[in-house]
Amino acid sequence: MLIVCFHFSNTLSAQPRVSIIPQPVSIVEGSGTFVLNANTPIEVSSASVKNIGDYLAGQITNATGYKLKTNTVSSFSGNAIQLKLNGKSTTKPEAYQLTSSPSGVIISADSAAGLFYGVQTLLQLIPPKSKTNSGEITVPSVTINDYPRFAWRGAMLDVARHFFTIDQVKEFINNMVRYKFNVLHFHMTDDQGWRLQIKSLPKLTEVGAWRPERTGKWGNTPRPLPGEPKTYGGFYTHDDIRELVKYAAERHVKILPEIEGPGHSLATIASYPELTCTTDSTYYVTVGDKIINWHSKGFTALLDNTLCPANEKVYDFLDKVFTEVAELFPFEYIHMGGDETPKDFWRNNPKIKELMKKEGLENMNAVQAYFVKRVEKILKSKGKKLIGWDEILEGGLPADAAVMSWRGMKGGVHAAKEGHKVVMSPYTHTYVDLYQGDPLAEPPTYGMLRLRDSYKFDPVPEGIDSSMILGGQWNLWTEQIQNPRAAQYMIWPRALAVAESVWSPKSVKDWKSFVARVENEFVRMDEANIRYSRSMFDPVIKTSREGANIKLTMETEVEGVDIHYSYDGSYPDNYYPKYAKPLIVPKDALDVKLVTYRNGKQVGKQITLPVAELAKRK
């Protein structure tokens, strides 16, 4: 049974009384409120979950300034926040129940993880500072029963392209768990850097973790010069990883390490050149310069960035790497990458031809499949399971391997039908490094993903057995993202859409409700100094031609938003003409300037569209 009650006014900006992301399974609103004050105790049922009470106290201090005390009690009192561990087995280990009334708040669960997620919900029931009346902090009366749709609710952070410190990764984890994500996919190796200390292979961090510094646009950077100082980069020591794993576990997050191969391995090869199929190149850690030629038919390697499947040294190397990785990361899976492997340097290589003849491999996909199977065997010897990007399906896959589907949903569908567990992370819905508004108004990247498209994400395609779908995740690739503030802008609010897709029942998802709740989270993010994008308020622009003139057709993702425009070079406000039908751009205009308003208040950013750039669009 599902009961959800919201109170909207006539304007979309009005916030629901109960605003929670991701939307719980069941919400029943009551009457009255619980008044939270500086003397409200947090009571826990056992010492084993006192850390969750302490976590809650710290978060309440951040939100209100109150310094609440956590007490372990045998019997609960009134006018308190109570965390009860039921102590019984359950088929829904992350489920929780939350009841708030004028006499107190009770969160109960059968596991510590359930209590932790109930705490995240309570924190969203406490109003933002700017919404409190006369300094009084109240929690609405409500009864919530909740549990996740999927066990795997992931977020990927690419630290190979740009290095993030331990503290920055901890902040990333803290922001993940606010919305009940529980897997940190840690992309630690690529062409641009190797970020994990491997004690048995010291050159990986002595060489592979460093490159010359570049601060300009990715892909527009000059190749490193001989002897140029390698001052940019960094890596995580074993102690760093142990600290991160412990920190994440305290927040019920598992860390999935990714060691990329056979492609995306130039930092590895720069450290140990003997791992390639080629011997006539100079290998280096790239700085974003062009090593792959991307074209309409795929891609062609300009420099060999692959581990050689026919080189036995590669498997000895990987055995050493995965021995240390398996000891550091307790999660049952290790990600092997496997995507975007250019095979140009394999095709005419004598060692590859010899391997194909020896193993009966018919083509290059079979060669990569041979590599995948060797890697899977190594991981199994370490007590781990293999997961990789959907390209690992090409040429056949070991029975126990799992697939992370990124090239849309097709790879995941194929894998599930073949009996492989699947994590859905299609770029069409979950790649948060893509444009979230018009490219002329956003940081540079290579594709478009609006918030509404993220919200359409459903990890279970029609006709697929849902038991084969572990869950889903969003991915932040950092080629274009050099610092945490830039990362935050790209993540939020699109990650909120994915949160609701992997936690909430499909039946409770509602776009209008979601938008209102997102706006409520914007208030919290402002107070927490978290950067986010307001691109959902900006116009979606389609360009066409009417005779010799450019024609602009526009709409907004969010209802009730007006688009105002100018042609004369001045920045429009809500007194400028309002968009009502497609615009025919005057021939003498140099720019079209746009801005969005709602109820007399600017909600989107000022956007300048140079006519010369619009003319290039199809």
Residues involved in catalysis: 190, 264, 340
Alpha-carbon dihedral angle through residues 142, 146, 152, 156, given to the nearest 10 degrees = -10
* H helices present in 274-409, as ranges: 312-328, 350-359, 364-381
Give, in order, the Cα–Cα distances in Å from 221 to each of 150, 154, 197, 207: 41, 32, 27, 20
Query: What is the spatial distance between Cα 235 and Cα 479, in angstroms, rounded to a whole number?
Result: 17
Q: What angle is formed at CA 189 by the lines to CA 183 and CA 191, rounded to 5 degrees?
A: 140
554: nearest Cα among 593, 517, 581: 581
Phi, psi of 602 (to 5 degrees): -70, 130
- Residue 607 burial (10 A CB sphere; 0-12, 13-18, 19+): buried
**Is 263 within 8 Å of 306 (Cβ atoms)?**
yes
> What single-letter DSSP state applies at residue 274?
G
Query: What is the spatial distance between Cα 321 and Cα 199, in angstroms, rounded to a whole number?
Result: 9
Query: What is the spatial distance between Cα 193 and Cα 285, in angstroms, rounded to a whole number?
Result: 6
Give, in order, the Cα–Cα distances in Å from 577 to each of 525, 550, 571, 614: 32, 18, 12, 20
How long is the chain?
618
245: nearest Cα among 153, 327, 190: 327
**Is 222 within 8 Å of 285 (Cβ atoms)?**
no
Pairing of strands 549-556, 539-546: antiparallel
Q: How far is CA 433 from the centre of its chain?
A: 9
**Is 596 within 8 Å of 539 (Cβ atoms)?**
yes
**Is 535 within 8 Å of 594 (Cβ atoms)?**
no
Query: What is the spatial distance between Cα 20 and Cα 126, in angstroms, rounded to a whole number?
Result: 10
Query: What is the spatial distance between Cα 440 and Cα 97, in angstroms, rounded to a whole number?
Result: 46
Give, in order, the Cα–Cα distances in Å from 209 to each of 34, 168, 423: 52, 18, 29
* H helices present in 504-541, as ranges: 511-527
